[in-house]
Chains A and B, each alone.
Chain A
Amino acid sequence: MVRVFFLVVFCGLFFGALCQEKYVSQGLLKATATISPSFMLNRSEQNIYLNGYLEYYVDDHLSLRGETYLFIDGTNSNPDYSHFIHQAVRTYFGAFLHAGKKNWDKYLGLQPGLTLMRPNSSVSSDLKACPSFALHAGTTYYVWKYFHFFADIAYVNSIYRGTSIGSMKTDEIIFSAGLGFQLMTKKN
């Protein structure tokens, strides 16, 4: 993960020297799809999600973003236990505040959402809808008018309720990084 991050930063700096246009402005539409590793905060587990989002800039410094994480697989660092999540889809929609210069953008975001989750557990195996929210921080480096590199860290909060031993916190820190696509829908 660290290697990927440094690779993104290196490539961003390299391509940044080639292109110094203003990319972030009202009307920008962005989309990505990537593989996102995570670790759970309340148990010794790491998960892998397929992550994608669609984002639209309503202002030079504000965007609306819809996002989904689809659970692929997980591992528990204790070999005696199986991982907690069997199936999960986390879906969010919210607003992001951007502060950037030229082709480097930094942002913070808040997204209310819903997590559909089925545990891989003897205490419950019901698919349940769990209210959730996500807090994001990240950066984007625009390398061309259609491509950008990005790195994002998200804290997602959710609780799976109604197991025979009470509720289970399922908070996670999820990392995403990779290539994204953008399109300017408005002429400046």
Chain B
Amino acid sequence: MKYLLVCFLIPLVGFSQPLNMKGSQGGIVSFGVRTTISAFNDGLTGNVGTGVGGQFRLQFADKVNSDWFFDYITSDIGEFANRTDYHIGWSVMFYPGMELTPRFRPYVLAGHCFDYSRLEDNSNRNNFDERWSSAVQGGLGVHYNLTQRLDLSAVCQYMVHLGNHVHAEKENGLVVFHNEKGASLEGHLLFHFGINYKISDLW
């Protein structure tokens, strides 16, 4: 029991030490969690969705970082159906500012994502449609550095899905899903609010 407690506490003590920087900011690894608002989804109803996710970041250079994320988002389609979106992807973040350790650090991001969407009839779970696709996203964000290791991040990005267009409609009292092939640019606007903790500087 004593050894178990020691094994548990040792990594925690490491987390509260100042980050040991090895020269530049390249190599910094951080982990975090985030909450998401999907401001509108494509379709007639355009309902707002909410989600939760996590990410880890690997910084390549002083002004270039990368964000590897997973999001789970649920939203309504009117009052007759709902959709669930799973996103897994990455973004490259570029910090245009000259200062390397400011309190506020704005950035521009762009990246790719793979996603799975499932649309479901509210009154019959066996009536559904689904889609696997890829997406590209771009947007703006800002870190608020609370300490050397911990930051809050706010991001606004637009994600465009590349693939079939799936949408739900109510026709003659029945929920019908349309899965239309073609290069549709269906998308949604995402807002993320996250907390990130820097684990170490690898190089």
Contacts and interface: CB of A to CB of B under 8 A. Distances in A.
Contacts of A112: 33-35, 52-53, 193-195
Q: Which range holds the interface residue count of chain B?
A: 35 or more
Which label, helix, strand, loop or mixed, suits the secondary structure of the A interface?
strand
Contacts of A58: 15-16, 147, 149-150, 197
B149 A161 contact: no
A33 B33 CA distance: 24
Interface string A49-68: 00000001111001010000
Interface in B67-94: 72-76, 78-80, 82
Please provide the 8 A-B residue pairs with the shortest distance between their CB atoms, ordered closest to farther.
A166-B79, A112-B35, A131-B52, A164-B123, A161-B82, A162-B82, A133-B35, A131-B51
B15 A131 contact: no
B52 A132 contact: yes
Contacts, number: 91
A56 B10 CA distance: 12
Contacts of A161: 74-76, 82
A29 B120 CA distance: 44
Contacts of B50: 131, 157, 159
Interface in A89-114: 93-95, 97, 110, 112-114
B122 A26 contact: no
B52 to A, nearest CB: 4
A26 B16 contact: yes
B66 interface: no
8 contacts: A27-B16, A56-B15, A59-B149, A95-B146, A95-B152, A113-B52, A129-B72, A159-B50
Contacts of A186: 13, 16
Contact of A59 (B13, B36, B147): B147
B12 interface: yes
B125 interface: yes
Most B CB contacts (10 A, CB to CB) among A126, A165, A185 go to: A185
Contact of A167 (B12, B53, B76, B147): B76
B33 A166 contact: no
B124 to A, nearest CB: 9
A178 B189 CA distance: 42
